[in-house]
Amino acid sequence: MSKTEVILTHNIVGLGAESDHVKVAPGYARNYLYPQGLAIPLTGANKRRIEVLRQRRAEREAHEFNTMSELSKSVSKLTCTIKVKTGEDGKMFGSVTSGTIADELKHLFDISLDKKKIHLDHPIKTLGDHEVELRLHPEVTSTLKVHIESTTPLPPPPEAPEKGREGREGRPPREDRRPRRPEGKTEAKPEAKPAARAAKKEKSDKPAKTDKGEKKPKAEKAK
C-alpha cells in the first residue's frame, strides 16, 4: 500500500516533531493529521513554511528543557510517600508501578508527570525507601525518593520477662520457691543456750552404768 508524505506541524510522540518529513498511510493523514492540524501535505508552497516550523520547534524544545531542569531540581528534594496494605508478615499485597508513583505525585505535590518518564526496572514489592530514576528529557534526568509504608498495624512485640524476677523457663528464683508455713502456726523458738548446757551437765552427774558382765562383790556375812 502506497504512503503519502507530509510535513508535521506539531510534535507527535513516536512519529516526529515540527518540520519533519514523514510518510504515513493516506487514510491516517486524511482522517486524523490534516483535520487536527498536526500536519500539512508536502507541496512546494508548504515547503516555505519549514523554516517557520523549525524555529517553533527550537523554541518549544528550549522551553521543555528549562521546564524539566527546574522540575528536576524540585523532585530531587521531595520524598513521595505511598501507603500500601500488607499481611501480618509485612509482605505487600501487589506492587507499586510507575503509574502509581505518577498518581501520588499529582495527589501529593500537584505535579503532572507522564508515567513513561518514570523509569522502573521492575515494580516495587518491598517496604522502605527506594530511589527511582526520572527521565524527564533526553538531556535531563533526576532521582525521586519513594518511601513505601504499610497501613496495616503491626502486632505488638512480646513482653520481655522482668530481669531478676524469673529464673530459667519462667520459674521464680530459688529464694521465692521456699515452702511457706501454714497460717496460724508459729515456728518453735530454739531453747536458750544456758538451759541446754545445764541439761547436759545434769546428765553427766548420774552414775555411770556398769557392764552387765561385771558382778558387784557381795558383802561379807556377819560372823
**Where are the domains positioned within the chain?**
4-48, 72-150
Residues 202 and 218: their CA atoms lie apart, in Å, by: 30
Chunked into runs of 10 residues, the chain (223 residues) has average pLDDT values of 89 91 93 94 87 92 94 94 88 92 94 93 93 94 94 69 55 57 55 55 54 49 44
Please say whether the structural domain 72-150 has been given the CATH code 3.80.10.10. Answer: no
Q: What global pTM score does this model have? A: 0.58
Residues 68 and 142: their CA atoms lie apart, in Å, by: 10
Question: CA-based Rg of the chain, rounded to a whole angstrom?
Answer: 51
Q: Which residue has the cell 510522540?
A: 13
Residues 32 and 65: their CA atoms lie apart, in Å, by: 29
- 138-161 residues labelled b (16+ CB within 10 A) or e (exposed): eebebebebebebeeeeeeeeeee
Instruction: Give the C-alpha distances (Å, rounded to integers) separating 162 from 79, 156, 167, 176.
Output: 41, 17, 10, 15
Q: Which pLDDT value is given to residue 91? A: 87
Q: Which pLDDT value is given to residue 43? A: 87
Q: Which pLDDT value is given to residue 160? A: 63
Q: Which pLDDT value is given to residue 6? A: 94
Residue 212: CA count within 13 A, CB half-sphere: 0
Q: Which pLDDT value is given to residue 223? A: 40
Q: Which pLDDT value is given to residue 221? A: 47
Residues 211 and 218: their CA atoms lie apart, in Å, by: 17
As a CATH number, domain 4-48 is 3.40.5.10
SS3 15: coil
Please tell me the chain's helix, strand, coil percentages from 3-state DSSP, rounded to the nearest 5.
Answer: 35, 20, 45
